Structure 1
Amino acid sequence: MAEKVYSQTVTSTGAGRDGHVKGDGGIDFDVTAPKGDGVNPESLLAAAWAACFNGALQKTMGEAGVDVEKHTPTVDAEVTLNTVESGFRLSGKITARFANAGELDNAQELVDKADAFCPFSKALRGDIDIEAVAE
């Protein structure tokens, strides 16, 4: 059985995508439908995934003996809402960029290991189409 490390509850009120979310840890703001301005569910998922993946990547780098300060990663998470025959489906892409990338010959291997370790990548795998790449 899994041992709980942390749990977060966030409550949505109002009209869902045009409503409000509030929870522990500073989450307390309006959300909007995905129209390019404001916070929406896709931007929240992208922010959470990017932060979690960056932590997993830095852990993976450290375990591989890579100097994290010299090759500091920056992680972008893109979450896209797509229409499909049954309604909607999410897709996603993680892109990791490394400082001094020319001196790092195992970037994709590090990204692949971080993708296998990251709890958000694990949760999303199978339920949405995801991709993890190094640049």
Structure 2
Amino acid sequence: MPTLYSTKVTAVGGRAGTVRSDDGLLDLHLALPPSLGGKGGASNPEQLFAAGYAACFGNAVIHVSRNRSVKVADSAIEVVAEVGLHSNDAGGFALSVALDVAITGLDQAAAEALVEEAHRVCPYSNAVHGNIDVAIRVTTR
């Protein structure tokens, strides 16, 4: 299977360090959030994961909508991703994800069917399948 796209990001200093992509477009300081004992004031890995998942899932909805008789405008799809960090039973950590997907211009049943199909094709959904609990809520406007 050919690679459609690849990128590299280098992290230095862990959760209180920096991340930088090989093309320099992503160049961020990181900080441990106050709820985890840090000072905050900068992004953290969970925010970056949530941003990536939300954008990718939104595009998966756009992608599968192209094969439908009723077209949905790209701007009619909004995805809010909430990523939670939890302790697990093995002394480590686990993530949870909640996706709130709002679609303008479809009835509830059509929106739910579209999102269900998007969840099957989204690379983030496929990557976390069986490893991270993902709750999805679909609303229409």
TM-score interval w.r.t. the shorter chain? 0.7 to 0.9
Q: 8 Å contact 2:60–2:118 — kept in the other structure?
A: yes
Report how far residue 53 of structure 1 moved.
Answer: 0.5
Aligned residue type for 1:10: V
Pair 1:77 & 2:48 matched: no
C-alpha separation between the residues in 1 aligned to 2:70 and 2:126? 24
| Contact 2:62–2:74 under 8 Å retained in 1 | no
Q: Distance in 2 between matches of 1:108 and 1:69?
A: 16
C-alpha deviation, 1:71, in angstroms:
7.9
How high is the TM-score relative to the length of structure 2? 0.84
* Uncovered stretches (5+) of structure 1, i.e. residues with no partner: none
* Residues 25-34 or 106-115, more deviating: 25-34
Aligned residue pairs: how many?
A: 132
1:123 pairs with 2:107 = no
Q: Could you tell me which residue of structure 1 aligns to residue 31 of structure 2?
A: 32
Higher strand share: 1
Cα 1:19–1:124, aligned 2, differ >3 Å: closer, same or farther?
same
Where in structure 2 are there 5+ consecutive unaligned residues? 35-39
Q: Please, what is the CA RMSD of the aligned residues?
A: 1.9
SS of 1:21's equivalent in the other structure is strand
Which range moved further: 43-52 or 23-32?
Answer: 23-32
